[in-house]
Structure 1
């Protein structure tokens, strides 16, 4: 197995990996927060200006495109509207980043220990490790993801006055299961997404590192992260939309910025309902801004991770001298 192909998982201790992953998550979240809010608003919208539903007396704001949504939020809610849900999101990205990279390296080392002739090829190793890491990190941090979505879905009228109030309200009116609405869609999405992402990244990174063509963004790590993320995100996007629709179910559903969010129950039935009523367009609503978000987010995440790991390794070396 080539050392260059598995460089990501061969560097640093578990503690260093966790710290570098957490730092990467925090920096990435700060950069893409406004795009994340725009994406969520578009995903929760069940109609657009050109859809028949918009002329059937359906109330609520109508967004059209990324720029239109951006202008609407700035006009109606101000600049801070683009960072709604940022506090639980920062906690989400902090925890998710550390858990994801830790689980990835741990699983990779377990698979590397498999003796020949049963040892898996590198792409399969990366796919399984990435999928496992994504499933573990998604499940453990899902309540924060749900809170992020609910706060991002709030318009000028505040549904929850604070994070503490939202936790109390969900626990009281929806029970423990309320914090995990849409988890099935989240895991169903993240397993193939992270598997494809890490497998693509590990394959692309050594190829781009040796490319004679100068890389944009200044590093092959960032470019590999961008390409891997775009490919993976597009493949699983309908499940991401399903997850967002399920996360805002509950007694407060009619109070979000979109007053006409339908009632959904279950991953399969939600997918079928969206397809039946809104068609393919509904399944992929917000994909453009999602890809715009995924590219810089993945580039920043992987670049920051590599830089943070390099700093931690350098500090360790200095400490040993």
Structure 2
């Protein structure tokens, strides 16, 4: 990820597969944090007998420990299969299309830094296009992550990712795979713009500082900045997206937003903020570090 310059060109296929590989690697490393985030976002406080409110999951580490203790360590990787499906499609498309969209908006003859507005616009559009394709994988991932420890004798809703796809189609119809598409487009377009545009911009800003070069430290700092901006901007729509995918009682995106705001207040939209940042910050650092290295291979 960098602005236009005298670098060797990489084909769309090369960019797609290097992006897909980097995204899948980052997904595998960080999905326990994502599982904790989803559980925190879906959690509703339960009134205890003494009139106080209690919550099963508390904090990122506490949530991960609770899941591992009650359901076993592998439960932290629930949803990894559709998660990898998602990252292959979504990660490959959103990054693979990013540079071509930037070129389209500014023209192929531009030399030097691309204006931030064009970066944001390109990332918004590529994020929206990519998630329209990948929404079914996102839905299945959230459904599998949301399922906690069941009482004895109660069967699981889905035996695995493939079973989840077919069960949803059979019970809810084909288009149910695109449940939550509107908040998902909003969330992923916004987060993609925050990640790609901020990574692009932060990286170029760092490279302008004397002593910094295009190396792993620069990539790590830019990736961490991308993760922070993405969480700050995208957390509210991420909560709505997770709730709509994990709970079919909401009639629409607006219904989910209003009920969440009315019943739990504005702070509910930042539920799981720390695990979300822990996950996205770590995810972006791993993904961009991996991506930059893999792209060097394609450049020869």
**Shared fold (TM-score, shorter chain, > 0.5):** yes
Report the equivalent of 1:307: 293
Report the equivalent of 1:160: 158
Deviation (angstroms), 1:60: 10
Deviation (angstroms), 1:4: 6.2
Report the equivalent of 2:73: 79
Q: Secondary structure at the match of 1:219?
A: helix
Report the equivalent of 2:269: 283
- Does residue 123 (structure 1) correspond to residue 123 (structure 2)? The answer is no
Flag the 1:58–1:248 CA change in 2: closer, same or farther, 3 A: farther
- Does residue 269 (structure 1) correspond to residue 255 (structure 2)? The answer is yes
Flag the 1:27–1:312 CA change in 2: closer, same or farther, 3 A: same
Report the equivalent of 1:112: 106
- How many residue pairs match? The answer is 291
From 143, 168, 171, the equivalent of 1:170 is 168
Deviation (angstroms), 1:214: 7.0
Flag the 1:32–1:172 CA change in 2: closer, same or farther, 3 A: same
| Distance in 1 of aligned mates of 2:32 and 2:277 | 13
Moved more, 301-310 or 106-115: 106-115
Deviation (angstroms), 1:156: 2.6
| Distance in 2 of aligned mates of 1:106 and 1:4 | 12
Report the equivalent of 2:142: 149
| Distance in 2 of aligned mates of 1:247 and 1:171 | 14
Flag the 1:151–1:309 CA change in 2: closer, same or farther, 3 A: same
Deviation (angstroms), 1:164: 2.8
Flag the 1:226–1:300 CA change in 2: closer, same or farther, 3 A: same
Flag the 1:209–1:160 CA change in 2: closer, same or farther, 3 A: same
From 36, 40, 44, the equivalent of 1:38 is 36
From 261, 275, 283, the equivalent of 1:297 is 283
* CA deviations over 1:247-299 (Å, ceiling 9, x no partner): 0234xxxxxxxxxxxx2121122111111101122111101100001111011
Report the equivalent of 1:249: 247
- Any unmatched runs of 5+ in structure 1? 48-52, 251-262, 315-321
* CA deviations over 1:54-113 (Å, ceiling 9, x no partner): 327999971111122111111101110100111111111112111111221221221232
Report the equivalent of 2:131: 138
| Distance in 2 of aligned mates of 1:28 and 1:98 | 13
| Distance in 1 of aligned mates of 2:133 and 2:254 | 23
The root-mean-square deviation of aligned C-alpha atoms, in Å, is 2.7
Deviation (angstroms), 1:142: 0.5
Provide TM-score, normalisation by structure 2.
Answer: 0.88
* CA deviations over 1:221-242 (Å, ceiling 9, x no partner): 2211211221122112111000
C-alpha contact 2:47 2:54 (8 A) present in aligned 1: no
Report the equivalent of 1:318: none
| Distance in 1 of aligned mates of 2:174 and 2:54 | 30
C-alpha contact 1:34 1:83 (8 A) present in aligned 2: yes
* CA deviations over 1:136-174 (Å, ceiling 9, x no partner): 111100000000001111123322112232222211221
Report the equivalent of 2:60: 66
Deviation (angstroms), 1:213: 6.9
C-alpha contact 1:40 1:244 (8 A) present in aligned 2: yes
| Distance in 1 of aligned mates of 2:8 and 2:147 | 43
Deviation (angstroms), 1:8: 11
Superposed counterparts of 1:169-248, under 5 Å = 169-212=167-210, 218-248=216-246
Report the equivalent of 1:19: 17
